[in-house]
Chains A and B, each alone.
Chain A
Amino acid sequence: MRPVYLHGSAVSTTWRDASRSLTDLIFECVRTALGTAGISAADVGATVLAAHDLVDGRGLTSMVTAPAAATYLKDETRLGDDGALAFVLGDARVRSGSVDTCLVAAWGRASEGPIDEIAHALFDPFTARPLALTEIAVSGMRAARCLGDFPGYGRWRGAAAARRGVRPADPSRVPATAWPLRAGELPVWADVVAAVVLGSQPGPVRVGGVGMSTEPYELGDRDLTGLTALRTASAQALTDAGVDAASIDVLELDGLTLFDEALAAEAVGAAARGDGMSLLANSPRVNAGGGSAAGYCAPAMGLVRVARAAERLRNATTSQVGLATGASVVAAQVQAAVVLEGA
């Protein structure tokens, strides 16, 4: 297997920019990512995309949107799953030697569709939809459990929320809350595109290792605060890279709300059980750009976290190691973890 390097990346976060269609947003972000990698569309050997039909409001979205991601007469596939999972598949394409350069892109435009209703449609029509469940509601249940079990969550939630930056005034950008979540702990909906260029030639960031795991669909079958899939995925990624959790300098953790991010910090081993919120409040290592409050729309977010981690490694003055995670829909049923190593 060959080593894989991250050559370029781009993230665009906008809101209701009427001057741009969805395909315009994808085209511009992908072009920027290719630019940072110093290559043209012609150099791309394969493309792996992540997008959801229902978020995009297009019955088979990649039919209309894939060509905006430099796929013309190319080897291309699309996941209806989180962007970090697409990154893992893109990494495999280069690692195996099947292509030398692979573009990975993911997007979601929250301003075009009814995000809360779409999240409701994720749930079982027999057992959960009649109960008005959304993913925010699941985060609310996670938060309630944390506040009940761990005193640190109550103590540090205010300070951790304050680090997430100023919340936009537009009420349509924040979902209706579910107790005990507070407004500053919720995601801020955005029109998000992320793109990453992977290659076999040495580049500024190396992909050290990857991992992935899956939880049951039924919420009652899961350990809602233990994030079993993320524990497994990050342990695999760390083992694959030959590093331990303590040596991670840069953490970019995907979570819908502040509480999901705090639980993710525990699951990857960056904080002890019950100390995740304290880490978010006090450590500059985690989600330096504000996490889900800096703009959120599935299924782009795992790839956003990878791109943000890569940026931070590129900008670091010393050689550092980063860990990025991505969570799928239905309240983080599938999780992927990626270890990145700066040059």
Chain B
Amino acid sequence: MKEKTKRTIAFYSMISPWFVVFIIFGLYPMLYGLYLSFTNYYGFNIKHLKWMGLQNYHKAFTDSDAMYSLGRTLYVTAFNVPLSVAIGLGLALLLNRQVRGVSVYRTIFYLPSIVPALASVIMWKVIFSSNNGILNGILSTVGLPEVNWLGYDYATTSLLIMLLWGAGGGVLINLAGLKGIPRDLYEAASIDGATPIKRTIYLTLPLMTPVIFFNVIMGIIGSLQIYMQPILLNGTELLARPIQPNYLYFVHAFQQIFAFQRFAYGMALLWILFLAILALSVVVFTTSKYWVHYETDQE
């Protein structure tokens, strides 16, 4: 056998576990779901599906709940992404300054991001609760007026606070990026008389743009798919409808499917967002050659 044929066989047999599972449990269900989104499937009529064309997709754009939830999702994303990227980078910049005990601080900042979402929601719920809540207890102890943290006016703020608590998870990748900046660049800048603030603005930030860019894109993708935190923050069960301002796009889709059995319409809603995310991903990967650095050349 030729060396090349041998290698091809080796390659395909080694990736076969992924490939077979991907076809059966990834691609097939995905296309099946896409097909269902063009039908009238509502949970009981799997044997008598009717082709509805683009009707579900059309409905999504005229459904006022869907449009409202999309607006709220964009609102949450608009605050969540820049703030969490800034927190991750800011903390990493602090830690990159030859700090004693850096691993302790790094651990503390990173810790909240590994707390299981469910445990995190339970913890924050007790803090925000208006009935026996910790935060209001503290506010009233120090003589400040109590706030209805999970009520209409503050629910989204509370959600953002809870999400941003996990923003320290970005510290690790930012630190890795900062460590990759050659030290002699800083020395050269110092000799030229640049202050630390100037060095940060004119040297560090431009060199960190790949990492920042990556974090922004991944942040947007993640943010658009938030649904469990708002549901659990206000409700006590997974099918509960969150308070109106926290009624996000994925929550809407989840509700359509699991609370109302509108599988076909729910799938259409998900596919619309998926296509939007896919368009974003294409941007990431076509530009990746400008920001991914390999130590050796690819074969």
Note whether A and B form a binding pair: no
Residues of A within 8 A of B (CB): none
